A and B are shown apart, each in its own frame.
Chain A
Amino acid sequence: RWAMAALVLAVLLLPLLAAPGRARRDALQEELLLSPLPAGDVAATFQFRTRWDADLPSGAVSHYRLFPKALGQLVAALGVRELHLALTQGFWRTRTWGQPPLQAPAGAELWVWFQPTVTNVDKAWKELSNILSGIFCASLNFIDSTNTVTPTASFKPLGLANGTDHHLLRYAVLPREVVCTENLTPWKKLLPCGSKAGLAVLLKAERLFHSSYHSQAVHIRPICRDASCLAVSWELRQTLTVVFDAFSSGQGKKDWSLFRMFSRTLTDACPLASESKVYVDISPKNKEKELLEVTPPPTSVHEAIVQGDKRTYAVYDLLSPSLFNTSRSLNVQLKWKRPEDSSELPVPVLHAHRYVSGYGLQTGEISTLIYNTHPYRAFPVILLETVPWYLRLYVHTLTITTKGKENKPSYIHYQPAQDRRRPHLLEMLIQLPANSVTKITIQFERALLKWTEYPPDPNHGFYVSSSVLSALVPSVFAMKNVDVEQSPLFTSLFPSSDGSSYFVRLYTEPLLVNLPTPDFSMPYNVICLTCTVVAVCYGSFYNLLTRTFHVEEPSRGGLAKRLANIIRKLRGVPLL
């Protein structure tokens, strides 16, 4: 009898044991990449990747574990296929710091691919920007039709995509947006461990905003669940890149440590993470080893080809039990044994520079210089420029010259602006010859706006958002196709189509342009004076049209004449 009861119990309990196998799986990977930059700064890139095997768009999900509910509901409700939001303070100096792992333009950048099922993309876009504005405490609600464009070639989906109808894509940049602690806090809240455990304990605002470049981003995209790609998983990557000036904080020495940069050390990994690693770039420059030393000794060394270059990384695996044996906290330190010969900074293959020229407040010219420093390979680059409507571009003045000769782009998509409705959109595919500088210039005229359309400080100027350069840069070393799950996160950001080139997206400087201003203290005066001039015309014409000429009758004198006569009589002078 007891055996029968045990069997019945086992049969009843079996479904419960099998149930966890049916539950949706989600996984968290966290990673910190520390790379010393050629000019002496240190770049720290945090990446937190949550991967969730669920069918978000169908909305049939109700239990959120690692994936934040705010973003999951957003994706489900608004039919979002891909979302990329970046809030950046500062500018990544490609020329001195090298190619960035993931660059974002100054201010706030938001680009979204919607599902083909969305019927009114503009309405969904407006709702999305307003909801994100609330989630991240940023003024994304200022995104409207005057700063939104639909690029046709520059932004292809980074995740799984069935077709690329670019009418489902929207791109907007707010160059004037400032990033501060209020934006960092909600970003940290979206992390599964918050800022209490794992790598996120290093994210303290007072150190992070004391930097030359601070960029925090959120990327949501659908990915293949496995190699057969029969099912779709959703990936959320939260990245934070910060560049510290090691010289100024290290009293003149280029040595740095985690404690000196973040005023914190790592104590443990996030318990919810399946992977938690710190990578330190110890690639030897000029093939010289023993130039630098990292303490404590790393758990392993990883070699990879990143952005066309062979790199060596010291890996600290926070989940390995041997790491916290000697001390309770991990403070990665890097010491330079010999001061590096910094006279020759390696120049990245592709970098660009943009500036505005001209004098006066009537006209101006935007010039973009694109440098291809590869010694023998030419490659094409797509340039996307979004210029606000009040700088009237003249596309017949567009000139592209390389080495003194005209360089005709093979693809131009130009959408002129409409006053107060949409900005200019200029997309071009330009072939950059090897070892050359390409100069692109276009002239514009500055418009006079209505007095209510100026921002509170009108003489500060108006910002023109960064232009976007997208290119497949040929790499020196052949790259293998990476398996997203097994490789470091910083190598699997952009899908690579073949091993001979890697994808780079660069942003140029934002521009600050002054517009002529009316006098803001004068609305009433101007209305009165102009109406006076119109009234002068009306009055003169009215007189001439309604009155006729008459011979003047002698008047018997008005009051003034009679008074004058009285005084004259008193004086004894002849009367008037």
Chain B
Amino acid sequence: MAAPLVLAVLVAVTVRAALYRSSLAAFISERVEVVSPLNAWKRVVEGLALLDLGVSPYSGAVFHETPLIIYLFHFLIEYAELVFMITDVLTAVALYLAIQDYNKVVFKKQKLLIELDKYAPDVAELIRTPMEMHYIPLKVALFYLLNPYTVMSCVAKSTCAINNTVIAFFILATIKGSAFLSAVFLALATYQSLYPLTLFAPALLYLLQRQFIPIKLKSKGFWLYTMQYAALYLCSLVVIICLSFFLLNSWDFIPSVYGFILSVPDLTPNIGLFWYFFAEMFEHFSLFFVCVFQINVFFYTIPLAIKLKEHPVFFMFVQIAVISIFKSYPTVGDIALYMAFLPVWSHLYRFLRNIFILSCVLIVCSVLFPVLWHLWIYAGSANSNFYYAITLTFNVGQILLISDYFYAFLRREYYLTHGLHLTRQDGTEAMLVLK
């Protein structure tokens, strides 16, 4: 399996290198859909220039990266393009290995459930075979590497690629079962962009499942393991934050990075919902709605954990998608990460209800974004409402896509336990509804 992966990596690197040398690179790095005030390369360069001038990069409102990024690029600024290509490759390889391991786990679990007679007798066509699952890791790596969103994000040198790499390594560590590495990478991901904090729950559920610890609130083993994992996570986070303090000898980065993510002062347009909402917000309610929108990202975790405690990797997928849609400064790089997981759920295709129209919506919106931006900002013939409308449509499309996959997943689980051909009491074919 290594050869096709290597081929895919080579093709991806070639595409990126070609784009770096073309005139599109400058155009793509200016696009607001691809870069945001949090992860633009221009701002990284600006922060390093401020450091050279002797001014703290966090004294202004331009630089919002963490000190570790300053440290990283202080030495690697000359090789920036290479760094971003390598991060993309690392993400793809990490996802490949993670999904490979996950497939083995899925297959093992399926075999156990069949032997225990948990499945209904007529669900043979829903059972997954190793043959069908063989190419999924490669498809995941391809979906990530050759996704236009990822390519644009890499060419723009957005540090979102680094976020994705850290999250991919976290997923790999979790699926491999190493609690320590998983906690460290999760702490790094949280340190970078705060929202991966919610991935603590699916990682914990997966590791508990892997250790065969039952998830019962009264069980001592459950609490012991949870405390262990939480302690590892919090300690790594504290260590990383203290390390950042020692880099620049000040705590200025905390309001500049986390205060910025949470309070959303910069209203630069992006593909998310926050910017126009807060540009048109009545001053009196600003704080209230900032809190509401931030809580919105975090509050799906507990209900999803309760519903999907048997399926933590799907939970992780839904959680990453929720973060990408509702975070304060989303970019297409964040979307590329959860879209890379779609081949893992390709067996749900037959239960998806709206996949055609949703993919059309997403493609059309992606094409319309730059058009309406140009009309607003450069041609002056449209106004901000046009771009905002496409933002709304795009986000509705993404939300419906995720909930469609969620619906298909739950439906397949129902069929597995209750049988594919459902009959009513009088023997006629039955419909399945959500009640």
* Residues on A facing B (Cβ under 8 Å): 359-363, 389, 392, 394-396, 412, 414-420, 447-452, 516-519, 522-523, 526-527, 529-530, 533-534, 536-538, 540-541, 543-545, 547-554
Using Cβ atoms and an 8 Å threshold, which residues of chain B touch A359? 378
Query: Is B101 interfacial (CB 8 A cutoff)?
Result: no
- In the docked arrangement, what's the CA distance between A549 and B416, Å? 12
A450 touches B61 (CB 8 A): no
Query: Is B400 interfacial (CB 8 A cutoff)?
Result: yes
- In the docked arrangement, what's the CA distance between A517 and B279, Å? 9
B431 touches A552 (CB 8 A): yes
Interface mask (B162-188 → A, CB under 8 Å = 1, otherwise 0) = 000000000000000000000000000
Interface mask (B200-215 → A, CB under 8 Å = 1, otherwise 0) = 0000000000000000
B378 touches A360 (CB 8 A): yes
Interface residues in B258-281 by Cβ distance below 8 A to A read: 265-269, 273, 275-281
* Residues A549 and B266 in contact in the complex (CB < 8 Å), given A394-B62, A522-B385, A533-B273: no
B45 touches A544 (CB 8 A): no
* Residues A412 and B53 in contact in the complex (CB < 8 Å), given A392-B61, A417-B60, A540-B399: yes
B60 touches A416 (CB 8 A): yes
B432 touches A551 (CB 8 A): yes
* Residues A450 and B267 in contact in the complex (CB < 8 Å), given A523-B280, A540-B399, A550-B432: yes
From A447, A518, A544, A552, name the one whose CB has the most chain B CB atoms within 10 angstroms.
A544
B411 touches A549 (CB 8 A): yes
Query: Is B424 interfacial (CB 8 A cutoff)?
Result: yes
Partner of A417, one of B61, B280, B400, B433: B61
B279 touches A416 (CB 8 A): no
- In the docked arrangement, what's the CA distance between A541 and B293, Å? 16
Using Cβ atoms and an 8 Å threshold, which residues of chain A touch B385? 519, 522
A516 touches B431 (CB 8 A): no
* Residues A526 and B388 in contact in the complex (CB < 8 Å), given A537-B325, A540-B399: yes
Closest residue to B399 on the A side, CB-wise? Answer: A537
* Residues A536 and B400 in contact in the complex (CB < 8 Å), given A396-B46, A526-B280, A547-B435: yes
- In the docked arrangement, what's the CA distance between A448 and B306, Å? 41
- In the docked arrangement, what's the CA distance between A10 and B385, Å? 92
* Residues A389 and B61 in contact in the complex (CB < 8 Å), given A420-B265, A541-B300, A551-B422: yes
Beyond the given pairs A416-B59, A519-B383, A522-B280, 7 more chain A to chain B contacts, judged by CB atoms under 8 angstroms and listed by A's residue number, are A419-B266, A450-B278, A517-B383, A536-B400, A544-B407, A547-B435, A552-B433
* Residues A551 and B55 in contact in the complex (CB < 8 Å), given A526-B277, A527-B281, A545-B303: no
B42 touches A451 (CB 8 A): no
- In the docked arrangement, what's the CA distance between A440 and B407, Å? 59
Using Cβ atoms and an 8 Å threshold, which residues of chain A touch B388? 526
Partner of A448, one of B61, B279, B426, B433: B279
Query: Is B254 interfacial (CB 8 A cutoff)?
Result: no
- In the docked arrangement, what's the CA distance between A505 and B59, Å? 30
Closest residue to B407 on the A side, CB-wise? Answer: A544
Partner of A447, one of B50, B267, B282, B433: B267
Residue total for B at the interface (Cβ-Cβ under 8 A): 66
Output the least CB separation between A401 and chain B (Å): 18
- In the docked arrangement, what's the CA distance between A2 and B46, Å? 94
Output the least CB separation between A52 and chain B (Å): 43
- For this complex, 18 residue pairs linking A to B, each with C-beta atoms less than 8 Å apart, are A361-B377, A362-B30, A392-B61, A416-B50, A419-B266, A448-B275, A450-B267, A529-B392, A533-B392, A534-B293, A536-B400, A537-B403, A541-B300, A544-B410, A544-B434, A547-B434, A548-B414, A553-B424
A518 touches B276 (CB 8 A): yes
Using Cβ atoms and an 8 Å threshold, which residues of chain B touch A389? 61
Query: Is B376 interfacial (CB 8 A cutoff)?
Result: yes
Interface residues in B145-161 by Cβ distance below 8 A to A read: none
- In the docked arrangement, what's the CA distance between A415 and B385, Å? 35
Output the least CB separation between B191 and chain A (Å): 23
Using Cβ atoms and an 8 Å threshold, which residues of chain A touch B268? 447-448
B303 touches A541 (CB 8 A): yes
Interface mask (B276-305 → A, CB under 8 Å = 1, otherwise 0) = 111111110000000001001000100110
Interface mask (B396-435 → A, CB under 8 Å = 1, otherwise 0) = 1001100100110011001000000010101000111111
Using Cβ atoms and an 8 Å threshold, which residues of chain A touch B91? none
- In the docked arrangement, what's the CA distance between A415 and B50, Å? 9
- In the docked arrangement, what's the CA distance between A363 and B431, Å? 57
B61 touches A530 (CB 8 A): no
Number of A-B contacts (CB under 8 A): 164
From B267, B279, B325, name the one whose CB has the most chain A CB atoms within 10 angstroms.
B279
A534 touches B296 (CB 8 A): yes
Query: Is B307 interfacial (CB 8 A cutoff)?
Result: yes
Query: Is B384 interfacial (CB 8 A cutoff)?
Result: yes
Output the least CB separation between B64 and chain A (Å): 11
B281 touches A548 (CB 8 A): no
Interface mask (B237-269 → A, CB under 8 Å = 1, otherwise 0) = 000000000000000000000000000011111
A419 touches B265 (CB 8 A): yes
Using Cβ atoms and an 8 Å threshold, which residues of chain B touch A363? 30
Closest residue to B260 on the A side, CB-wise? Answer: A419
A549 touches B281 (CB 8 A): no
* Residues A416 and B61 in contact in the complex (CB < 8 Å), given A529-B392, A549-B414: yes
Output the least CB separation between A257 and chain B (Å): 50
Closest residue to B433 on the A side, CB-wise? Answer: A552
Using Cβ atoms and an 8 Å threshold, which residues of chain B touch A550? 432-435
Using Cβ atoms and an 8 Å threshold, which residues of chain A touch B293? 534
- In the docked arrangement, what's the CA distance between A517 and B281, Å? 14
Closest residue to A517 on the B side, CB-wise? Answer: B384
A415 touches B281 (CB 8 A): no
Closest residue to A450 on the B side, CB-wise? Answer: B279
Using Cβ atoms and an 8 Å threshold, which residues of chain A touch B49? 395-396
Using Cβ atoms and an 8 Å threshold, which residues of chain A touch B396? 533, 536
B283 touches A452 (CB 8 A): yes
Using Cβ atoms and an 8 Å threshold, which residues of chain A touch B280? 451, 518-519, 522-523, 526-527
Using Cβ atoms and an 8 Å threshold, which residues of chain B touch A452? 283
Partner of B384, one of A360, A392, A519, A543: A519
- In the docked arrangement, what's the CA distance between A452 and B279, Å? 8
Using Cβ atoms and an 8 Å threshold, which residues of chain B touch A547? 434-435
Using Cβ atoms and an 8 Å threshold, which residues of chain B touch A419? 61, 265-266
A395 touches B384 (CB 8 A): no
Using Cβ atoms and an 8 Å threshold, which residues of chain A touch B403? 537, 540-541, 544
Closest residue to B256 on the A side, CB-wise? Answer: A418
Output the least CB separation between B386 and chain A (Å): 10
- In the docked arrangement, what's the CA distance between A545 and B61, Å? 40
Query: Is B331 interfacial (CB 8 A cutoff)?
Result: no
A534 touches B300 (CB 8 A): no
- In the docked arrangement, what's the CA distance between A449 and B326, Å? 21
- In the docked arrangement, what's the CA distance between A554 and B61, Å? 62
- In the docked arrangement, what's the CA distance between A544 and B414, Å? 13
Query: Is B395 interfacial (CB 8 A cutoff)?
Result: yes
B46 touches A395 (CB 8 A): yes
Using Cβ atoms and an 8 Å threshold, which residues of chain A touch B62? 392, 394, 416
Using Cβ atoms and an 8 Å threshold, which residues of chain B touch A415? 55, 59-60
Output the least CB separation between A145 and chain B (Å): 14
Using Cβ atoms and an 8 Å threshold, which residues of chain B touch A449? 267, 279
* Residues A518 and B46 in contact in the complex (CB < 8 Å), given A360-B378, A419-B265, A447-B267: no
Rank and list the top 10 A-B pairs by shortest CB-CB distance, nearest first.
Answer: A416-B60, A396-B49, A540-B403, A360-B378, A526-B280, A523-B280, A552-B431, A549-B414, A537-B399, A419-B61
Using Cβ atoms and an 8 Å threshold, which residues of chain B touch A527? 277, 280-281
B377 touches A516 (CB 8 A): yes
Using Cβ atoms and an 8 Å threshold, which residues of chain B touch A533? 273, 392, 395-396, 399
* Residues A395 and B431 in contact in the complex (CB < 8 Å), given A419-B61, A518-B279: no
- In the docked arrangement, what's the CA distance between A394 and B410, Å? 50
Using Cβ atoms and an 8 Å threshold, which residues of chain B touch A394? 42, 46, 62
Using Cβ atoms and an 8 Å threshold, which residues of chain A touch B410? 544, 549
Interface mask (B29-61 → A, CB under 8 Å = 1, otherwise 0) = 010000000000010011011100101000111
Closest residue to B52 on the A side, CB-wise? Answer: A396
B53 touches A552 (CB 8 A): no
